[in-house]
Structure 1
Amino acid sequence: MKLHWQILLALVLGVISGILFPGITPFVSWMGDLFMNALSMLIVPIIFFSIVNSISGVQDFGAGLKRLGIKTMAYYLLTMLIAALTGLALVNLIEPGGNVQVGSVAATPDNLGQSSLLNILVGFIPKNIFYAFTQNNTIPLILIAFLTGLNLPKLSPDGKNILNGFIKGGLELTLRITKIVILFSPLGIFAIVVKQFGTTPDFLKLIQTMLLYVLTVTAGLVLHTFVWLPLILRFGYHVNPWRHLKNMSTPMLTAFSTASSSATLPLTLYAVEHRDGISSKITNFTIPLGSAINMDGAALLECVAVIFIAQAYGIELSIVQQILIVFTSLLCAIGAAGIPMAALVMMAMILNVVNLPLEGIGLVIGVDRILDMMRTTVNVYGDTCVAVMVAKSEGEKLPIDN
């Protein structure tokens, strides 16, 4: 049985067991604790190795490709930022987690992190580099990874080769361990869901809350795909967004059915080059890079999910903390390619930033499969939109021009 079906079965059994047999919660909750601990254990190596590997890869391009790479990454970050801010606005407007209280976490500085913008900025630079690694201090860790990735290609050949081998080997090892942890995710999710439903008096309200969360994410993805990106293409780059959308129908439908950007890559490359008429130079550079670092749908979902979890636990996050969530979701997305169940791992990273309970993932993991299909479609469409933006910025004339 495929893993997503195992997770769905675990969710159903967890809901039934939690409602009918709440007394089993103390006997199964340890499985959820172990699973969350394992995810937490992987946060540091995943962040460090994946971000260093991604950034150093762009730095290794030749001068011409490096300029194109920086421009492409800037566009990808822009579309991800728009997606994340859309999710941020919707989750605060709709408040999908405001109707249920699944637990409580004391609203102290230790729980919520420091809300002062100045304190957060000061915290970007750790007093001790090893502290960032040993204390799961995510933001300084991301900064260290970025600095390492930017400077690694500038080392002497010997130092560069040694460190490159260490980074790539460390990333490969971390991904192998992650795959092992993910194999046990059905057991962990079963235990987490049993605890959620076994300790929540009004389980019908909890189900209603989860459905409202799905609708919030879906509304954000629809807005991003059919409003914001078309507006950028139409008024920023003077192309017909609906012709572009029609040209991308095959890769988008494939992305929806497979929930895999990688599986869709050949179809996306063909559609962008042969239907939109973008040069092979730009197509073959922007689309593979986008499949690795561009996650518009994931950035939107992570912002909604983390704030939804905070709402469900009765925690009010400050504006500064919510901006920090957006910032972290963008940075984590850059290194998330190839990580098994990347959205789950990214969510654990972001929850760690604002010290929210990792077990809150149990509120959203059960509905993640259908959202995965939708966000992958948005990710692929975002890749193609950036390819158009880069092509137009390079002066190319396209069949989809207005």
Structure 2
Amino acid sequence: MKLLKSLTFWIFAGFVFGVLFGYLFRESILPVANPAAAIFINSLKMIVMPIIIFSIASGILNIESGKELRKLGVKTFLYYVTTTTLAIITGQILVTLVKPGSNVTNLVSANVENIPAAEGSILDILIDIIPTNPISAMAEGNVIQVIFFMILFSLIIMRFQDKYRTFYNDFFQGGFNIMMEMVRWIIWLAPVGVFGIVAGIVAETGFDAIIGLMKYFFTVLGGLLFHAFVTLPVILSMFGGMNPWLHFKNMLLAIETAFFTSSSMATLPITMECVINNDKVEPKVANFVLPIGATVNMDGTALYEAVAVIFIAQAYGIELTFIQLIIVLLTTVLASIGAAAIPMAGFVMITIILKAVGLPLEGVGLVLAVDRLLDMVRTTVNVWSDSCGAVVVNNLSRKET
């Protein structure tokens, strides 16, 4: 605990100095800030794919039977779909009541550059889950495809004779333990990484970028905070059997990392470390629930996308019908599944939703200025929801035994 407290202190110190140096030195700090940020983020990304491979395999192979795996999968799926849907509905209600888009109609001609439009349909995204080359998927960092392959790979191993299953179980469990030890080493780069990330943001955008979009910014922020501090704690108390404040303290290091890196996947190793060691969640549950959640369970991203699309419609003076709002809801649930767990990936997924309801793709230019700041918050909500899901699934599984 002393280790975590001291690390937390240095992470906040990195944040404070990042703001200070970024504001005072502006662009001249970038040659220092950018490499510092890159070293930390690249170190985390380096271990992401091995974590995915070892954790999913060890998690499934530690499950005693296919029946237990099915039960675990159903609980995980129901939690993720429920919380994502609640997040989207929260965002839709807020943006409809506040109407932040009515104040920015003068910005609808904003230029949009270098934003890749969504060319595929939702069906294409679902089909793309199946890798044509799993090795290539691993090399390219296609997390969804790797998860699919590793689940299938591990399920087949479960059908082997005991001696083969024991061999692979030991192999993947040993690999997972090694990666967890590497996490403990890398996390000490966090204060330097936080300094670089924050200094870079402040140096490049300053504090003026969000002035014209403050109403939209606080609408999204309000929705994210409501989901994080009301919806999820209620679910955690009712179904997880855990005090939300205690869970928050247990997850503090992962929450800080998610906020400063804006990456659920980069935070995954730390999330697993906190959930297993602090919350005492069974490793087989954490190893199954969290890697999938880091890709599929995007509560914060889904809420942000729903608010952003309705905000854009308001800015263009377009009144969305009830059917279109339902389409936004369903499309956002599916799009959040396809959103890769890397910084600003959910931003690109907005184009799919805009296309689904017939809004101009150029509208994404309206949210460019404040997206980076909101990305930090929504990623934190994503990770917070993943951790709550691990506790909930673990508690429900214990009740059945």
TM normalised by structure 1 equals 0.61
Contact 2:223-2:303 within 8 A present in 1 as well: no
Structure 2 match to 1:71: 71
Which letter does structure 1 place at the counterpart of 2:34?
S
Contact 1:220-1:300 within 8 A present in 2 as well: no
Structure 2 match to 1:216: 223
Q: CA deviation at 1:170?
A: 2.3
Structure 1 match to 2:342: 348
The 1:118/1:252 distance shift into structure 2, 3 A limit, reads: closer
Contact 2:14-2:191 within 8 A present in 1 as well: yes
Structure 2 match to 1:2: 6
Stretches of structure 1 that go unaligned for 5 or more consecutive residues are 231-243, 267-285, 330-345, 395-402
**1:32-47 correspondence to structure 2 within 5 Å:** 32-47=37-52
* Matches of 1:82 and 1:382, distance apart in 2: 13
Q: Secondary structure at the match of 1:193?
A: helix
Structure 2 match to 1:24: 28
Overall identity of the aligned pairs, in %: 17
The 1:225/1:377 distance shift into structure 2, 3 A limit, reads: same
Post-superposition Cα deviations, 1:133-179, rounded to whole Å, max 9, x if no partner, equal 11112221111011012111222344333322332222222223333
**1:124-273 correspondence to structure 2 within 5 Å:** 124-203=129-208, 205=210, 214-221=221-228, 222-226=230-234, 229=235, 248=241, 251-259=243-251, 261-262=275-276
Which letter does structure 2 place at the counterpart of 1:216?
G
Moved more, 214-223 or 26-35: 214-223
Q: Secondary structure at the match of 1:108?
A: coil
Q: Secondary structure at the match of 1:199?
A: helix
Structure 1 match to 2:269: none
Contact 1:124-1:143 within 8 A present in 2 as well: yes
**1:305-324 correspondence to structure 2 within 5 Å:** 305=301, 308=304, 322-324=332-334
* Matches of 1:160 and 1:384, distance apart in 2: 24
Q: CA deviation at 1:92?
A: 5.8
Q: Secondary structure at the match of 1:2?
A: helix
* Matches of 1:215 and 1:297, distance apart in 2: 23
Contact 1:76-1:386 within 8 A present in 2 as well: no
Contact 2:293-2:386 within 8 A present in 1 as well: yes
Structure 1 match to 2:396: 386
Contact 1:50-1:171 within 8 A present in 2 as well: yes
Contact 2:57-2:150 within 8 A present in 1 as well: yes
Q: Secondary structure at the match of 2:183?
A: helix
* Matches of 1:247 and 1:56, distance apart in 2: 24
* Matches of 2:35 and 2:306, distance apart in 1: 23
* Matches of 1:152 and 1:246, distance apart in 2: 32
Moved more, 291-300 or 23-32: 291-300
Post-superposition Cα deviations, 1:37-71, rounded to whole Å, max 9, x if no partner, equal 2333323212222112212222x33xxxx535533
* Matches of 1:202 and 1:382, distance apart in 2: 39
Q: CA deviation at 1:72?
A: 4.3
The 1:57/1:384 distance shift into structure 2, 3 A limit, reads: closer
* Matches of 1:310 and 1:193, distance apart in 2: 27
* Matches of 2:246 and 2:391, distance apart in 1: 11
The 1:139/1:374 distance shift into structure 2, 3 A limit, reads: closer
State which of 299, 304, 308 in structure 1 corresponds to 2:300.
Answer: 304
Q: Secondary structure at the match of 2:210?
A: helix
Q: CA deviation at 1:191?
A: 1.0
* Matches of 2:156 and 2:74, distance apart in 1: 19
Contact 1:126-1:132 within 8 A present in 2 as well: yes
The 1:85/1:305 distance shift into structure 2, 3 A limit, reads: same
* Matches of 1:174 and 1:106, distance apart in 2: 36
Which letter does structure 2 place at the counterpart of 1:159?
Y
Q: CA deviation at 1:31?
A: 1.5
Contact 2:240-2:393 within 8 A present in 1 as well: no
Post-superposition Cα deviations, 1:21-50, rounded to whole Å, max 9, x if no partner, equal 213332221221232223333232122221
The 1:72/1:348 distance shift into structure 2, 3 A limit, reads: same
Q: Secondary structure at the match of 1:75?
A: helix
The 1:26/1:303 distance shift into structure 2, 3 A limit, reads: same
Q: CA deviation at 1:184?
A: 0.7
Structure 1 match to 2:255: none
Which letter does structure 2 place at the counterpart of 1:77?
F
Contact 1:43-1:348 within 8 A present in 2 as well: no
The 1:198/1:84 distance shift into structure 2, 3 A limit, reads: same
Stretches of structure 2 that go unaligned for 5 or more consecutive residues are 252-273, 313-326, 351-370
CA-atom RMSD, angstroms?
Answer: 4.9
Q: Secondary structure at the match of 1:139?
A: helix
* Matches of 1:196 and 1:174, distance apart in 2: 30
Structure 1 match to 2:80: 80
TM normalised by structure 2 equals 0.61
Contact 1:10-1:186 within 8 A present in 2 as well: yes
Structure 1 match to 2:353: none
